[in-house]
Structure 1
């Protein structure tokens, strides 16, 4: 008896390995995947402007990075004791205007550099709902708790999202013709928009991707990984959500990561990933007697393993 339907997945061409470079952009689920890549010590850059929920915010960042734009005092504002920018997440907000502007421009530079050298870019789309600044008509990446009356809320059309994604791909290809782009839709439920509204939003995102994914003439054409579909179908039970009933819990994230790994990470990485995991578990070990001979020998063995890996992969850094 089969009590679960499985989404058919096959290993992809142009898989990820330790010789590559990754750029992760998008919603909270991009952060979940980023933590996995960080744990296994893949070289990557994740959300230099913080979490982005909708595709226009991602397009804006990539467009600015590609044309080598920069931020100034005119692009930031002061509210509730901190400086903010509507193009970035509140994680970048700062008590110092100077520091915020520097961090924004550093983020643009880091994005530009990573775009040009990445072998893989993973873009996670969270929602099709956006907020437009009534004063200047621009769509913001984050409202920063500015009073709601200063924004109008709208659902991006399928055509509007498709055009944005096509522009994003064009910008990416202008600096990195051979990069493999992987799109996915976040399984996180945006229930603050409403139950029906959340489903409409996800439907718009999934449908709009067809315009980007259909042309397959290029050997490294954009691909789609079904994170949302795995959550909705294979994990269709509330036990796979956190207590807020919105975010996938650790079990769900691990499950989707394993599916992603089967499709997009080269089998040749398995041995290295096992070595990295053994080190990570060793670093998390809490000794009963820190000064014992056995523990000192354990630390010596662990340091030997770290040194051996770092000789092969100098970019790997381990934090005790």
Structure 2
């Protein structure tokens, strides 16, 4: 008997392996997946400009990166004793204006290089709702607790999102025409916008993204779509799979979604290496009752031997 429906997932034609170089960008769910990539020691870079939720802000950052348009003094502002940019997350904000500009421009330079070297890029869209700065008329990636009266709140039309996603693909492909795209919609619900408004927001993302994928994939340019939202809403449709806020997937849900991702988007040859890495990670977290004992010293020597053997096969893996 089947007690739940399961989401069918197509296997990737260009799976990720331990030689792959991955760039992950987007909402907080991108960070959840990136933690898994980091744990299993894949070559992964995540959100160099912090968490970004809406497709227009993601496009704007890729435009800066791909064209190497540096941040200047006019692109930052002072608020609550820190310098910020409306184009990036508050994690990058700084008490020193020059330091902020240097950090942002270093991120542009390094991300430009990462895109050129990357084999896969994973983009996670979170919302269609945006805040527009009334003074500049620009879409903001983060409001940095500036009073809400300074912004208008808008729902991006499907056509605007579709064009934005297409522009993002075009920009990235100018630097790296061979890169593999993986798109997903974040399973995190943005209830602050309202329950109906959240559904409307996600539906705009779905419609726009699938229109883009339909055009590309009909031209034999296969861009993959991973159904993380559908897995959360359908296979895991129970509040026991959520954090206490009842909005974000908990660790069980993240582990399950990762399991489905790895089964379909990671090469079969890499699974055994992932198991080796997992064993080492668990051993490194082991705490001995008697660290000086002969038994523990043997355990450490054996563990180091495993690390060395793996390092010989894959030199980029460091513990």
1:232-243 maps to which residues of 2 (within 5 A)?
232-243=233-244
**1:129 maps onto 2:129 in alignment:** yes
TM-score (normalizing by structure 2) = 0.98
- Long gaps (5+) in structure 1: none
1:1-320 maps to which residues of 2 (within 5 A)?
1-214=1-214, 215-217=216-218, 219-318=220-319
Q: 1:293 to 1:219 in 2, by over 3 A?
A: farther
How much does 1:314 deviate?
1.4
Indicate conservation of the 8 Å contact 1:182/1:223, yes or no: yes
Indicate conservation of the 8 Å contact 1:27/1:126, yes or no: yes
- Give the Cα separation in 2 of the matches to 1:154 and 1:85: 20
- Give the Cα separation in 1 of the matches to 2:172 and 2:88: 20
How much does 1:42 deviate?
0.4
- Give the Cα separation in 2 of the matches to 1:280 and 1:25: 25
Indicate conservation of the 8 Å contact 1:14/1:220, yes or no: no
How much does 1:219 deviate?
5.0
Deviation by residue 1:62-111 (Cα, 9 ceiling, x = unmatched): 11111011112221111111111111101101111121111101111121
- Give the Cα separation in 1 of the matches to 2:220 and 2:262: 21
RMSD of equivalent CA atoms:
1.0
TM-score (normalizing by structure 1) = 0.97
How much does 1:217 deviate?
4.7
Indicate conservation of the 8 Å contact 1:235/1:252, yes or no: yes
How much does 1:53 deviate?
0.5
Indicate conservation of the 8 Å contact 1:178/1:220, yes or no: no
- Give the Cα separation in 2 of the matches to 1:305 and 1:97: 46
How much does 1:220 deviate?
4.6
Q: How many residues align?
A: 318
- Give the Cα separation in 2 of the matches to 1:95 and 1:49: 17
- Give the Cα separation in 1 of the matches to 2:103 and 2:276: 35
- Give the Cα separation in 1 of the matches to 2:271 and 2:170: 33
- Long gaps (5+) in structure 2: none
Deviation by residue 1:127-150 (Cα, 9 ceiling, x = unmatched): 000000000100010000001000
SS in 2 for 1:209: helix
SS in 1 for 2:318: coil
Indicate conservation of the 8 Å contact 1:55/1:128, yes or no: yes
Deviation by residue 1:273-304 (Cα, 9 ceiling, x = unmatched): 01100110011111111111111111111111
- Give the Cα separation in 2 of the matches to 1:262 and 1:278: 19
